[in-house]
């Protein structure tokens, strides 16, 4: 999280072995730039106990934070969107329909 943020996560996850969704995808935002060096994504997920805020650059996770409170997780998303001059676009439904269909096929 940015240094000036007063909302502290439960813990910042440095290394995570499973890069798949940990629960329900609540939101996904993209900075509308292409390329490994410029593309950034913010994801918000929930698993009935904890909220996960994740930032990615060029497809690689660069930060993950866990929150026990929904409001604090949404505040973290807004703080991340303030960094830089990007024009964030929500792509939650459009991008993840195929990901959800693939998950259902694996489970059946």
Confirm if 60 and 41 have CB atoms less than 8 A apart.
no
Range of the domain at 30: 11-107
Return the pLDDT at 73. Answer: 96
Whether 35 maps to a domain, the answer reads yes
Residue 62: closest CA among 36, 24, 33, 27: 36
Residue 1 in domain: no
pTM of the model: 0.69
Q: How many domains does the chain have?
A: 1
Residue-wise pLDDT tens for the chain (108 aa)?
A: 544 455 565 554 443 444 455 689 999 999 999 888 889 999 999 998 899 999 999 888 899 999 999 999 999 999 999 987 678 999 988 655 556 666 677 787
For residue 34, is it within any domain? yes
Q: Name, in order, each residue with C-beta under 8 angstroms of 47's C-beta and a sequence gap of 6 or more.
A: 22, 23, 24
- Kindly state whether residue 4 falls inside one of the protein's structural domains: no
Assess if residue 57 is contained within a domain: yes
pLDDT of residue 96: 56
The reply to whether 38 falls in a domain is yes
Judge whether 6 lies within some domain: no
């Amino acid at each position: 999280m940015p240094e000036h943020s007063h909302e502290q996560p439960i813990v910042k996850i440095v290394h995570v072995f499973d890069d798949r969704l940990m629960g329900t995808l609540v939101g996904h935002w993209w900075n509308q730039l292409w390329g490994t060096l410029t593309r950034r994504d913010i994801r918000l997920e929930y698993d009935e106990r904890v909220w996960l805020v994740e930032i990615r650059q060029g497809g690689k996770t660069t930060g993950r934070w866990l929150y026990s409170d929904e409001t604090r997780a949404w505040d973290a998303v807004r703080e991340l969107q303030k960094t830089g001059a990007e024009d964030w676009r929500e792509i939650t439904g459009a991008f993840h329909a195929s990901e959800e269909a693939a998950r259902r096929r694996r489970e059946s």
